Structure 1
Amino acid sequence: MREKRFAFYKRMGEIIMKFADMTAGIPYAKDPAVVFYKGKYFLYYSRGPFIDGRWGIGVAESTDLDNWTKIGEVPLEQPCEGKGICAPGAIVLEGRVHLFYQTYGNFPKDAICHAVSEDGLIFTKNETNPIFAPTGAWNNGRAIDADVVVHDEKLFLYFATRDPKGEIQMQGVATAPLHSDYGGSTWTQACTDTILKPELAWEGACIEAAAMCKREGKLYMFYAGAYNNAPQQIGCAISEDGIRWERLFEEPLLPNGEPGSWNSSESGHPFLFVDQDERTYLFYQGNNDMGKTWYLSKVEIGWREGMPFVME
């Protein structure tokens, strides 16, 4: 049976989405990714490990981006998924939904996997999973928090990894031919060092969850700075080639909420969605109890002279 699980809060008189998976009786949804496919919206997200001790990926659908109904989950099927999966990134390419997600529970050996769907719900896993993990002395071999964007006739895959000591979370990138099967042999690591690492005070020891967008020939990366509930907040950087990045702001574009608000513990793990009318929405996760519960929400992003801003 399909369960309808959604809630709302008000800001400036506007009704805004606030969603959580209630499968285990605890409101818990993290790491959003959204696509428009075959006339409706699909939301992919991490659901908590409360059922069998393993993280999983939930699927919800909507007709308006505000009201979401959970319709299923991505099953754990392959050996590499045995300890769990989470943190999906999603894109529609050549009439199919492509999901890029991570294994979980293997820490330095966690890596990126790939699956495709003809209906947005039932996915066929890539036989070569996991398809990508980084190499080189600058990282510890881990790849998580994938997102992809089409650029220069390639698919750019952005991922978070850590330094060799496993302390600093930072960004890397790989590419694959655009019309490939995105299996393990198609990916080329496009960097010999991190492309973005924490430097600002509010970023702490972590930059993760790249959320990609292309506008007027330039790439934008909305990213999460600091580890969960530190608080994690959202910044933005820009690039022309997808490799060299420059921050647009010294302070968070989307900070955590004020004391007493639903997201006072953090506003984190973004995903940038461009709707059919070209309006852009930043989906993100938040909570006010240091991670005992998690909700997903969104804000609309406006653009002024190439600079994004949160619309009031």
Structure 2
Amino acid sequence: MLKKVDGKYWMVYHAYPEEGYEAGPAEMGLAWSTDEELREWHRLERPVLSWKDGADWERGGLYKACLIEHEGMYYLFYNAKNADRSWREQTGVAVSEDLLHWRRYESNPILPVVPESWQSTFVSDPCVVKDGDRWLLFYFGYDGSHSQEGIAVSDNLLDWKRSEEPILRHGAPGELDEIHAHKPSVVRRNDVLYHFYCAVRPVRPDDRTLGGEFRAIAVATSSRID
């Protein structure tokens, strides 16, 4: 839900120190707006969360923030990598009472990688939503070959229990998500869950894209829609 804090709308983002795609270790920033059309934003001068004072598992940079407010406390979920090359990505959380001063949860990462599994290399891109009295965390796992979507459940936003198997698997050869089904964003409308994700397949001769992959936004739903 979009809401104001101290008369301002707030946005969390991550940014890189160098030019190029994901160039250098990223840090988390905040921006605020009083514009009801949400077009004019003002950034804070300094990052609110940085790899520089992080643990070893996040020294390669921070990614994909998900900001949640619950009972006066703010929870900033993020994934981070441990190095610049051949890295692992895992998911952690930091908490704050004022949006400006953050402290990392002492049991980070809350979702570590699981050796010899479909989430052995990355556990990334947290998307947290509420379902009744429970919290759900959608994420993707990567094993070095394919990315697939997973889910974890919590009662307190800090301790999470994961499903052992993916809830959204990569597709068969020739399908839109043959290589990856990953990077979740989940919303509910009219009692239907819409699970948006990035689908990846090998590039084909008639594709207008760079590199060896074709990427598109896809959706999976909890029930059939016409």
Counterpart residue identity of residue 204, structure 1: S
- Correspondence for 2:94: 174
Measure the CA separation in 1 of the matches of 2:179 and 2:26.
26
Report if the CA contact (8 A) 1:115-1:123 is conserved.
Answer: no
Counterpart residue identity of residue 143, structure 1: L
Give the TM-score normalised by the residue count of structure 1.
Answer: 0.58
The correspondence for 1:124, drawn from 41, 48, 56, is 41
- Correspondence for 2:12: 100
Measure the CA separation in 2 of the matches of 1:203 and 1:139.
16
SS at match of 2:118: helix
C-alpha distance 278-128 of structure 1, shift in aligned 2 (>3 A): farther
* Deviation for aligned residue 1:251: 1.5
The correspondence for 1:280, drawn from 187, 190, 193, is 193
Is 1:150 the counterpart of 2:61 in the alignment? no
Q: Which runs of 5+ in 1 are unaligned?
A: 1-90, 302-310
Counterpart residue identity of residue 210, structure 1: P
- The count of corresponding residues between Structure 1 and Structure 2 is 204
* Deviation for aligned residue 1:121: 5.2
- Correspondence for 1:194: 109
C-alpha distance 224-274 of structure 1, shift in aligned 2 (>3 A): same
- Correspondence for 1:295: 216
Counterpart residue identity of residue 108, structure 2: D
Report if the CA contact (8 A) 1:136-1:192 is conserved.
Answer: no
Report if the CA contact (8 A) 1:149-1:214 is conserved.
Answer: no
- Correspondence for 2:58: 140
Give the TM-score normalised by the residue count of structure 2.
Answer: 0.78
Q: Which runs of 5+ in 2 are unaligned?
A: 17-21, 204-211
Report if the CA contact (8 A) 1:173-1:191 is conserved.
Answer: no
Measure the CA separation in 1 of the matches of 2:148 and 2:193.
19
Deviates more, 1:149-158 or 1:233-242: 149-158
C-alpha distance 226-120 of structure 1, shift in aligned 2 (>3 A): farther
Measure the CA separation in 1 of the matches of 2:135 and 2:182.
20
- Correspondence for 1:209: 125
Is 1:114 the counterpart of 2:33 in the alignment? no
* Deviation for aligned residue 1:252: 0.8
Which protein, 1 or 2, shows the higher relative CO under an 8 Å CA cutoff with sep ≥ 6? 1
Measure the CA separation in 2 of the matches of 1:125 and 1:159.
22
